[in-house]
Structure formats: C-alpha cells, structure tokens
Structure 1
C-alpha cells in the first residue's frame, strides 16, 4: 500500500480531496465515510467545487454504514450527516446518494439489499475510510469476517464510547448497525484511508506493519491491489518504517488514478 505522511490534519485533508476530486471529475462512484476524520476532506472538496474546480453532478455515492433504528431525519443518522456535512453543499444529485436503511423492519434483509445494490450498480470506484482506535473500518469490529458482505453488527463498548461524543448521552448511541462488510469494501477499486492524531497511531501501526488479522479489520488493506493510507505525523508516530514511506513517496513514479 501507499502510505502518505503529511505534517498535519489539513495536509491529510488536502491530499485526500485531490484524489477524490480526480475521481469525481470522471463521474466515478464514490464510497463515502462519516465521522470526524473526513470532515476536513469534505470541506476541501466543497471549496474546490465553489472554485469551479470539480463537479459531482455525474457521480454516485454509497455510504459505508448506518445506525439501526435512526430515521433518515435524525441528526446523527449517517443519511442526514453526509448531506449536512458534504453532499448538500455541492452539486450531488441527492437521489444518487445511497445509504443502508436503518429503519427497515428486517435489518438483515436491508443489509442484503444494500449489498446487491452496490453490485448491481457496478461497484465502488474509490472508497473513503477512517479507522477506529481498535482497528475497525466502517463498523467491522475486531473479529469481523475478512471477506464478509454488508451485514448487521453489534458495536463494541470502545466504539460506543468513541461515538458517544456525537450524542447527548452514551446510552443514546445505538448498539446495532448496518455496515458494508470487509469483503464489500475490498471490492472497491481504490481504498483511501485517513487517520489523524496520536490516538490512531497504534491502529495505523497494526494496519500497516502488523499481521493481516481479524483482530485488526483495517489490516485487510494489506491484501488490496490499490490502497492509499494518508496520515499526519502524530498518527504515523508508531510506524517503524515511516522514513522509508517518505522516501518511497518522494521517489515514486507518478501514477494516474
């Protein structure tokens, strides 16, 4: 995988936005993530759109996940969040921004339908990812099947604690979610994972330099044919080979997306 180290969160956001904007200019299908880490990237994409440098009019988006039980109008649903933070501020056709149905009577059927919708569409060209402190991506917690499809999962206490900052009380965080599986994610053409801050340093080290294991779901990026990890200095601080990653980037032949 390509590991790009930037000095700060702003540098991470700018580098990620450049990659995503290049895909959007070709009308690609974007896999979008929510959470605090992608916010800077979305703000940079909005800036590029307002400057006339990119359009999303021909793009389609699929979200990674959704809480079970939250309506699309709930301010913490990912259906609402991605619109509030990004797609409503650019020329994305709202009908082409897809997310799992967290209010479905049978969430297991909803998971199967979402998986099939991605397949029927022809897949995702570039998938934006964050990483949890325990190594999860999307809501695939440690122990998740390495090739699993979109499914219903139960959040671990650490993830609930991490996400409680978005809710009034920790007990308000739903404990069940619909999430793209690791197999679904690995079918995307290009995986783009972002991490900032010292709190993500252990997870990034495990992802990049540890074994490929279900105990660090993000380690599946090691087996993907095209994965890019963009981190700031703090998140890169526990990488043993960070100087080598810098050398590789400085001397790498240019590659078109």
Structure 2
C-alpha cells in the first residue's frame, strides 16, 4: 500500500486524474471503476482538463460505477447516473453505451445485481477509484458482522444517509437503499486508488489503513490488496503523520 499526503486538494485531484489518464494512455480499452460523492468531483474536473488538452481519449474505455440509489431514475438530479453525466461523461468522448451503473429502478434487484456482476466478470476493472465513508464504508458496503462479495442491495445506515443529506432538499428525500458493488468485486480491480480529504476523515483513515482488518470497517479490507494507492490531503492524513 502506497500512501501519499498532499498539501492541497488541487494537488491530490491532479495526481489522481493523472493516474487514471496514464492507465488509459497505456491501455486505450481500459476498464475504469468510478466513484461519486464530493471527493471525486475535483478529480473529474482534472480529467476533463486533460481531455480538453488532448492528453487522453476515452473512446475505447469502459466504466463501471460503484453504486446507485434504489428508486432514483437516471434523470433524477440526485441519482449517480445524473452525477456522472454532469461531472464527467458529458465532457469527454466516451460512448454512452460504454458507461455502466447499477439500475436502481429495476423491478428485480436481485436479477440486476447478477447482471452487473456478469458484466464485471467479463470486463475486469483495471483501476478503481474509491472514496471513504465516515463509518469506513467503501461503495455502499456498510459496516456489519459480514460483508457481501458481489453486487447487492443494501439498507443505508443512518449516518450514511445523514452524510448524504446535504445533496437533498431534506432528510426525508434521502433514499434508504442502494445497489452497490460488493467488497469482493472491488478487490478484484488490478489497482485501487483511495482518495480521502478533510480533517473529519482523519480518524477513519487511520483505522482503515493501520487498524485490524475487520468487517466493522469495510475499508480495512483494502489492506489485503496487492496494489492500493492512498491519496490524502494534509488534514485527512494528519493522524498518520503524527504517528510517523
């Protein structure tokens, strides 16, 4: 596991974007695993800059997103499909049919999860971008006594819904379920990039990266992966710095 602490969020964003662009330039038909939330927005902005500078093309790329809310259609402004189009897909040359997210409106969520896992099995992820939840979740894999390996529907923890409430008009509007890649699926990626920012994440960063490997902190399972690149801003990494 390689950990890099940046002085500014802008430096972190540029570095992460560079890792993804380098992957695509080395392998034009690369498969990218993508994340949502507030942390990746700056990374996607930098990717768009690289594309506009003609330093990378996504014409041959396939993408798989980690998760989607149950019940939100792709044209809902709070859906992750809408988020991805707004922040990345509509600004680069990737064909729309090469971008994939779980369908949170599927009538049969179990069948949708199997469909998504089948696609992932056929197109292994070369580089997976992750954020980190305050409770240690990756994707929407919430802490528990056990974790599901494959794509599955999940009940969101109250703290997760509260953290995401800032994107919605009210707490009542925040979905209580999502479809997410499982930890097993995430760990199959060739390279994992974990990007975290903010002093409010410092404790969970230390716990996830240096604490025991446990399903009560799903991100701790990243310690078992052969190639994880951790990108932190100074505040998120402050407890690691304090302890050498």
* TM-score interval, smaller chain: over 0.9
Distance of 2:231 and 2:40 partners within structure 1: 11
What SS is found at the alignment partner of 1:38? helix
Per-residue CA deviation, residues 171-210 of structure 1 (Å, 9 max, x unaligned), is 1011010000000000011010100010111111011110
Native 8 Å contact 2:141 2:147 kept in 1: no
Per-residue CA deviation, residues 30-89 of structure 1 (Å, 9 max, x unaligned), is 001010000110000000110111111111000000000111111111111101111110
**Which ranges in structure 2 are unaligned for 5 or more consecutive residues?**
none
Give the TM-score of the pair, scaled to structure 2.
Answer: 0.96
Distance of 2:98 and 2:204 partners within structure 1: 33
Partner of 2:214 in structure 1? 213
Partner of 2:104 in structure 1? 102
What SS is found at the alignment partner of 1:239? helix
What SS is found at the alignment partner of 1:43? helix
The equivalences for 1:137-216 within 5 A come to: 137-143=138-144, 145-146=146-147, 148-216=149-217
Native 8 Å contact 1:8 1:196 kept in 2: no
Partner of 1:247 in structure 2? none
Structure 1 moving runs of 4+ over 2 Å: 144-147, 240-243
Native 8 Å contact 1:32 1:128 kept in 2: yes
Following TM superposition, by how much is the alpha carbon of 1:112 offset from its aligned partner in structure 2, in angstroms? Answer: 1.4
Give the number of equivalent residue pairs.
242
Distance of 2:101 and 2:11 partners within structure 1: 28
Partner of 2:18 in structure 1? 18
Following TM superposition, by how much is the alpha carbon of 1:109 offset from its aligned partner in structure 2, in angstroms? Answer: 1.5
Following TM superposition, by how much is the alpha carbon of 1:24 offset from its aligned partner in structure 2, in angstroms? Answer: 1.6
Distance of 2:148 and 2:229 partners within structure 1: 20
Following TM superposition, by how much is the alpha carbon of 1:17 offset from its aligned partner in structure 2, in angstroms? Answer: 0.7
Match of 1:80 among 82, 94, 103: 82
**Which ranges in structure 1 are unaligned for 5 or more consecutive residues?**
244-257
What SS is found at the alignment partner of 2:239? coil
